[in-house]
Chains A and B, each alone.
Chain A
Amino acid sequence: MVKKLLKYDLKAVFRYLLVIYVIVLGTAALNRLLQFFKSTQLWYKISFRSSLVLLIIGIGSMMLLTEILLVYRFYKNLFSNEGYLTFTLPATIHEQLWSKILCSVICIIATVFVMSLSLLIAASGEVFADVWRGAGYLLKEFVQNVGILNLTFYIIEGLIFCLIAAADSVMLFDTCLTIGQLAREHRVGLAVAVFFIQYFICQILGTVFIIIEAMHDFDLFELIADAFSKHPEAALHVFGVLSIIGSALLFALYYFIMHRILKKRLNLE
């Protein structure tokens, strides 16, 4: 069932995303094309820099639009008129939620891939040769310092974290929208309020933590800096694992809230 739901979720989002991808890749190709006419003339400088700025704006917009499209899909498919069909399909709430989560992760991966590809296209010319050489040198130094085994685990930890964080980035907004459905009226308004409330709670918790730190003469940042200077390889693993645990806890919290509300408190308008 998740496979079927996912098929339609992906179709709905990629209808728009493919257009955005074509625009971004087209801008990258334009930038690369201009590099063939490299010169010191003013027209070249203006057109090259403009296309580069356009590409950067395009990539930023693509990242933002991916998130917006995913959140909009969640809202439209579940809480607008479409919800009458979605919630009368013979699918459990778990299946509905996993379809949305997997769709979000797949779309974000696709967007990151297109972003990387567009940067690769734009930066593959002679103009960026120094940047590549610098990056290659840094990577070589890093591998020599940490070793292949550590590098492999860093990559695995990084990938796991990125996948969960990608899901979290959309689930935060989905959860706010779901909580907003508890209101009888102004449901989107409540969702916006919930977003800001959770933001303020996080700020307050951060401040409380800093106060406690100060009261007990304890500096977390100093501790981290110390660990990274004494045992950098191990500290990076600890940091990676803690990041995974933190994002997984957030994932579980968002999932629990959404499932609970959709299962027990669904009130479609």
Chain B
Amino acid sequence: MSELLRCENLTKRYGSLVALDHVNFTLESGKLIGLLGPNGSGKTTLIKLINGLLTPDEGRILIDGIEPGVGTKKIVAYLPDNHFLNNYMKVRDIVAYFCDFYEDFRPELALQMMNHLGISENVALKTLSKGNKEKVSLILTMSRNARLYVLDEPIAGVDPATRDYIISTIINNYNPEASVLISTHLISDIESVLDDALFIQSGHITLHKSVDAIRSENGKSVDELFREVFRW
């Protein structure tokens, strides 16, 4: 397995608030990694930095050896934690949009998954329910043949059945040579599919281990360890 993502002394401040404080870690390809932390721990900031939506105050990020830019955007598929698609567009228009801009986008796969869910390609996004909008966003993201998938809270705010669908979509559709970085605090739902866990607290990475190592060394599930570490 080769190194896919490297953060070196990564620091991000919002005024006097230090969101990320000299963060250092590396991620290898071919893994499903959980970015786990409570609200306000720096998960979304880290994800935005990876995607070039924020600029670091100190340090740097390297994705496949290059800093965030056009080169990394070609190989990183990103799912934000809010609805980011143009509401006035129809499903087929947004599929065409992804087709136009991403060389690695697989439109047949996207339309096949949407048909499977009964989402017509002729409906406008604004007419879809919140859950269906989230499914469309996830399908579009996972239909890319990317090197790194970065999913910010993909299962927050959806019902358990949709949650199962989202998790199965992630597992079944990512390129095995790629890595998936999933940010969440709903650990029990996702723990069974994770290879590694990355705990983040107050802008610091406090733990980076494989899920198997956590279980064997601590005699606890990742969810149990998370509750213990982040207990108020």
Closest CB of chain B to A46's CB: distance in Å? 40
Cβ-defined contact, A91 with B70, below 8 A: yes
With beta carbons under 8 angstroms apart, the residue of B14, B73, B80 that contacts A89 is B73
Given A82-B86, A85-B85, A267-B54, are A4 and B15 neighbors across the interface (CB < 8 Å)?
A: no
Q: Mark A138-162, 1 if CB is under 8 A from B, else 0.
A: 0000000000000000000000000
Q: Which of A77-133 contact B (CB under 8 A)?
A: 81-85, 87-92
Would you call B232 an interface residue if the criterion is a C-beta within 8 Å of the partner chain's C-beta atoms?
no
Interface residues of B in 21-51 (CB under 8 A from A): 48, 51
Inter-chain contact B53/A82, CB cutoff 8 Å? no
> Nearest Cβ in chain B — how far from A217, in angstroms?
52
Using known A-B contacts A8-B97, A12-B86, A81-B82, determine if residue A87 contacts B54 with beta carbons closer than 8 Å: no
Q: Is B199 an interface residue (CB 8 A)?
A: no
B-chain residues with CB within 8 Å of residue A85 when the two chains form the complex: 84-85
Bound CA span A82–B94, Å = 12
Tell me the residues in window 1-33 of chain A with beta carbons closer than 8 Å to chain B beta carbons. Answer: 4, 7-8, 12, 15
Report the minimal beta-carbon distance from B29 to chain A, rounded to whole angstroms.
Answer: 20
- B residues near A7, Cβ cutoff 8 Å: 100
Give the CA-CA distance A88 to B48 in the complex, in Å: 10
CB contact list, B71-119 vs A, under 8 A: 71, 73-74, 76, 78, 80, 82-86, 88, 97, 100-102
Distance between B48 CB and nearest chain A CB, rounded to angstroms = 7
Cα(A266)–Cα(B53), bound, Å: 6
Contact of B82 among A84, A92, A265, A266 (CB under 8 A): A84
A88 to chain B, nearest CB (A): 5
How distant is A139 from chain B, measured CB to nearest CB, in Å? 45
Known: A92-B70, A184-B14, A268-B48. A84 touches B55 (CB 8 A): no
Question: Which A residues, 54 to 87, have Cβ-Cβ distances below 8 Å to chain B?
Answer: 81-85, 87
Interface centre among A82, A85, A264, A266 (most CB of B within 10 A): A85
A8 / chain B contacts, CB cutoff of 8 Å: 97
In angstroms, how far is the closest chain B Cβ from the Cβ of A77? 9
Q: How far is the CA of A92 from the CA of B101 in the complex (A)?
A: 12
Chain B min CB distance to A178 (Å): 14
The residue that A266 contacts in the complex, of B55, B73, B76, with Cβ under 8 A, is B55
For B86, the chain A residues whose CB sits under 8 A away are 12, 82
Residues of A within 8 A of B78 (CB): 84, 88
Q: How far is the CA of A82 from the CA of B87 in the complex (A)?
A: 10
- A residues near B70, Cβ cutoff 8 Å: 90-92
Contact B54 A88 (CB under 8 A): no
- A264 with B55: CB separation less than 8 A: yes
The answer to whether A88 and B88 have CB atoms under 8 Å apart is: no
Contact A89 B53 (CB under 8 A): no
Q: How far is the CB of A66 from chain B (nearest CB, A)?
A: 19
A88 and B55 contact, CB distance less than 8 A: no
CA separation between A83 and B97, bound complex, in Å? 15
Q: How far is the CA of A152 from the CA of B53 in the complex (A)?
A: 48
Minimum distance in angstroms from A3 CB to a CB of chain B:
10
Contact A267 B55 (CB under 8 A): yes
Q: Is the CB of A4 within 8 A of B82?
A: no
Q: How far is the CB of A72 from chain B (nearest CB, A)?
A: 13
Q: Which residues of A contact B55 (CB under 8 A)?
A: 264-267
* Distance between A111 CB and nearest chain B CB, rounded to angstroms: 21
Given A89-B73, A268-B48, residue A4 in contact with residue B53 (CB < 8 A): no
**20 interchain pairs (CB within 8 A)?**
A7-B100, A8-B97, A12-B88, A81-B83, A82-B84, A82-B85, A82-B86, A83-B84, A84-B53, A84-B84, A85-B84, A88-B53, A88-B76, A88-B78, A90-B74, A91-B101, A264-B55, A266-B53, A267-B53, A268-B53
7 extra A-B contacts, CB within 8 A, seeds A84-B82, A90-B74, A265-B55: A4-B101, A83-B53, A87-B52, A88-B51, A90-B101, A266-B53, A266-B54
List chain B positions with a Cβ less than 8 A from chain A: 14-15, 48, 51-55, 70-71, 73-74, 76, 78, 80, 82-86, 88, 97, 100-102
In the A-B complex, the 9 residue pairs with the closest CB atoms: A84-B84, A84-B80, A268-B53, A90-B73, A90-B74, A89-B101, A81-B84, A85-B84, A90-B70
